[in-house]
Amino acid sequence: MSDRATLSTVAARAGVSPSTASLAFAGSPRVAPATVERVLRAAGELGYAGPDPIAASLRRGRSGVVGAVIGERLLYAFRDPVAVQMLDGLTEVLGELGVGLLLLAGDGGPAPAQLGRLPLDAAVFATCGLEDDPAFRLLRARRVPLVAVEGPVVAGVPLVDIEDRQGTVELAAHLRELGHRRVAMVTMPLRLDGRRGPVDADRLATGVYRDTRERLLGAREVFADLPAVETASNGIEEGEQAGAALLSGPDRPTAILAQSDLLAAGVLRAAAARGLAVPGDLSVAGFDGADLPWLAPVRLTTVVQPTAEKGRAAGRAVVALLAGEVPPDVVFPVVLRPGTTTGPAPA
């Protein structure tokens, strides 16, 4: 049981210098095929499977690992098809580079302090438009190249964004045209503190999620004092709960805008529970254009965002950063997609 073989061991056995052995493993054209062969055989005999990635990382100054910071706990974040699709797009681009995606979950992931001990070439703030995040500050201090998806907006950090505001404006306008006047919104969390309920000015001001805020403000551009109910997380049950609250109030809205398709699905359930016909009694709309096969045959009216493309754009930004370039900010347009859940306001 000898010591584990190293590149030098192998080189010695092959009768070449470590430099040559290294070149051989790297597949450099400058080394003769016969030599490569000899090195590989020596490696085989010694049970050497190739250069140690950590040592190579040190020398190269690159680890081949890119972090994806997920705000929430994995379990909740991945219930969200949008998050998953985004990450899929991200891996698509990074995978080609031979780079791995390291998941950094807000909860259950490495504690912020530990985060600095991980060998990251770059990090993407993925599902969190979170402003003033300790993880963000830590990585900045470490000079880890960063990409922000939907925020935070910080100078020097390339941003990949969508037209949250504009999209919601269009959606709201659509409902207005349909004759709706009593419209309410179910929002995603403004902060991750488990709070639910009506959103007042204070709460809005202290919110840290840009997308949540933007979508709310967009709707209010059309319906000036549209009431909003905040959920504690972006999930169906939360949507149902918030929907139920809105529907049981005195002035029942004729339309509910949910800030995500997942929340909208919950609102639909709340409506069904109350025996309300959609869109006869109540119109419901979402946001994201998520792929929710179980919703069929209902087609949710929603605002479609290019989720996977967002991930790919983030991936490309990472690639650019690693190449020493300064990637431009990107803002993707969104498109209103009317479905079967919105209709004329009841008389």
Q: Which is nearer to DNA, 143 or 202 (CB)?
A: 143
Q: Which is nearer to a second copy, 291 or 325 (CB)?
A: 291
SS3 41: helix
For residue 3, the minimal CB distance to DNA (Å) is 8
Q: Is position 114 an interface residue for DNA (rule: CB under 7 A)? A: no
Q: Which is nearer to DNA, 37 or 88 (CB)?
A: 37
Q: Which of these ranges, 32-40, 70-78, 107-115, 264-272, lies near DNA under the rule CB under 7 A?
A: 32-40
For residue 45, the minimal CB distance to a second copy (Å) is 14
Q: Which is nearer to a second copy, 109 or 218 (CB)?
A: 109
Instruction: Find out whether 271 and 244 touch, Cβ atoms under 8 Å.
Output: no
Q: Give the Å distances, CA to CA, from 230 to 25, 190, 259, 335.
A: 56, 7, 10, 24
Residue 264 touches which of DNA, a second copy, none (Cβ within 5-8 Å per kind): none
Q: Which is nearer to DNA, 19 or 248 (CB)?
A: 19
Q: 66 - beta bridge partners?
A: 101, 122
Written as six digits, the tokens of 252 are 């029942």
207 DSSP 8-state letter: -
Residues in the chain: 347
Neighbours of 336 (CB within 10 A): 18
Q: Is position 166 an interface residue for DNA (rule: CB under 7 A)? A: no
Q: Under rule CB under 7 A, which residues in 43-62 are in contact with DNA?
A: 48, 51-52, 55-56, 58-61
What does DSSP say about strands 197-198 and 228-230: parallel, antiparallel, or unpaired? antiparallel
SS3 121: coil
Q: Which of 1, 2, 27, 34 binds DNA (CB under 7 A)?
A: 34
d(CA 160, CA 291): 21
H/E/C letters for each residue in 146-188? EEEECCCCCCCCCEEEECHHHHHHHHHHHHHHCCCCCEEEEEC
Q: Under rule CB under 7 A, which residues in 52-111 are in contact with DNA?
A: 52, 55-56, 58-61
Q: Which is nearer to DNA, 122 or 258 (CB)?
A: 122
For residue 94, the minimal CB distance to a second copy (Å) is 8
d(CA 107, CA 87): 18
Written as six digits, the tokens of 345 are 């306001």
Exposure class string for 303-315: b at 16+ Cβ within 10 A, else e:
bbbbbbbbbbbbb
285 DSSP 8-state letter: E
Q: Interface residues with a second copy (CB under 8 A)?
A: 4, 49-50, 53-58, 61, 63-65, 67, 73-75, 78-79, 81, 84-85, 87-88, 91-92, 95, 98-105, 107-111, 113-114, 116-120, 138, 141-143, 235-237, 265, 269, 292-296
Site map (CB under 7 A) of DNA, residues 6-25, x = contact: xxx------xxxxxx-xx-x
Q: Is position 283 an interface residue for DNA (rule: CB under 7 A)? A: no
Q: 197 - beta bridge partners?
A: 230
Q: Give the Å distances, CA to CA, from 321 to 315, 326, 345.
A: 10, 6, 49
Q: Is position 148 an interface residue for DNA (rule: CB under 7 A)? A: no
Q: Which is nearer to a second copy, 30 or 143 (CB)?
A: 143
Residue 105 touches which of DNA, a second copy, none (Cβ within 5-8 Å per kind): a second copy
Neighbours of 196 (CB within 10 A): 14
For residue 38, the minimal CB distance to DNA (Å) is 8
Residue 31 touches which of DNA, a second copy, none (Cβ within 5-8 Å per kind): DNA
Q: 100 - beta bridge partners?
A: 65
* Residue 220, phi then psi, degrees to nearest 5: -75, -15
Q: Is position 31 an interface residue for DNA (rule: CB under 7 A)? A: yes
Nearest to 260 by CA among 210, 186, 343, 175: 186
For residue 210, the minimal CB distance to a second copy (Å) is 24
Chain residues binding DNA by CB under 7 A are 4, 6-8, 15-20, 22-23, 25-26, 29-32, 34-35, 48, 51-52, 55-56, 58-61
